[in-house]
Structure 1
Amino acid sequence: MPAETLSLIAQFAGSLAAILLLVWLARWLGLGPEKRLLTEAEVAEAARDAHDGFEPAAIAIDSDGRGALARGEDGRIMLLRPHGSHVASRILGPASSAKMSPAGDSEGLVVDCGERSFGAVTLQLRDAHAWADAINAL
């Protein structure tokens, strides 16, 4: 084989090895696709993990898995949303608010926990009006 061909093969093999190393490193660091909350069991586990002693009694999950609400047995309401490969959550309080999305999105609910750093979360829920009433009553 000519030296030029061997050089190209070596360059290709080195590039492939570097790519595989980066893929392994990303997995090892826990990086990857955004987590989705798709089942009540996943939401309940995330809520329990986030706040010790929180036991979900009612759960509402966004239709795309981009967030959820959980009402605890003690009446507290928790907002959960994916944050990278993890789940971020906040217990809602008096500074929290909920409003229905603008016209055309009749079941969309915008929940603001009152913390700028967390941001507002828009959820598509079947029972959005009931959750909005409960959040605004806090």
Structure 2
Amino acid sequence: MQTGGFNLIALAVQPALSLAAILSIWWIARAMKLGGDNRIHDADHARALAEEAICGFDPVDVALDRARIGALVRSADGRVLLLRRHGSHFAARLLSSHAGIRLDRQFLTIATTDRRFGAITLDLGPQAQIWAASLRLLGASA
């Protein structure tokens, strides 16, 4: 009978210990700021990301996706950088031509030549048409 009582206690304690272990791992991950919802906070954050991506990039104009998962940043010399969320970080690519850019009302879909970067659809609202028109000039002087 003692063995049966011990089994019942072990069965009752095991879920509590498992829950405590899970909560401990959650707390450690939270303290280390792992995971979470990584988004571009505002235009200044997008400018900082662009400057981190390319040394000497002088951002003057920013178009943020409404969900804050991507942005287009134009430099003073006319270069355009595409930012997109990639896991818990952001990836950036310079756009060299208007090939792979498609406008659909307020959505601008951009496919770069880098297959690993993939395509992204940005909801730019009314700015989508303005940016689409300006992106047509990319590569024109080459």
The two structures have a TM-score, normalised by structure 2, of 0.79
2:51·2:58 contact (CA, 8 Å) conserved in 1?
yes
Structural mapping, 1:86-125, within 5 Å: 86-94=89-97, 96-101=99-104, 106-125=105-124
Q: Which residue of 2 aligns with 1:47?
A: 50
Q: Which residue of 2 aligns with 1:70?
A: 73
Cα 1:29–1:113 change in 2 (3 A) is farther
Alpha-carbon distance, 1:65 to partner: 1.1
Partner SS, residue 57 of structure 1: strand
Partner SS, residue 115 of structure 1: coil
Unaligned runs of 5+ in 2: none
2:38·2:89 contact (CA, 8 Å) conserved in 1?
yes
Segments ≥4 residues shifted beyond 6 Å: none
Please give the alpha-carbon distance, in whole angstroms, between the structure 1 residues aligned to 2:108 and 2:7: 62
Partner SS, residue 62 of structure 2: strand
Alignment: residue pair count = 133
Cα 1:30–1:118 change in 2 (3 A) is farther
Cα 1:5–1:133 change in 2 (3 A) is same
Larger of the two Rg values belongs to structure: 2
- Greater mean deviation of Cα atoms: 120-129 or 33-42: 33-42
Give per-residue Cα distances to partners, 1:16-45, cap 9 Å, x unaligned: 233134325645776413411231111111
Please give the alpha-carbon distance, in whole angstroms, between the structure 2 residues aligned to 1:130 and 1:95: 14
1:34·1:83 contact (CA, 8 Å) conserved in 2?
no
The two structures have a TM-score, normalised by structure 1, of 0.81
Alpha-carbon distance, 1:130 to partner: 2.0
Please give the alpha-carbon distance, in whole angstroms, between the structure 2 residues aligned to 1:122 and 1:75: 22
Tell me which of the two structures has the higher relative contact order, counting C-alpha pairs closer than 8 angstroms and 6 or more residues apart: 1
Unaligned runs of 5+ in 1: none
1:133 aligns with 2:133: yes
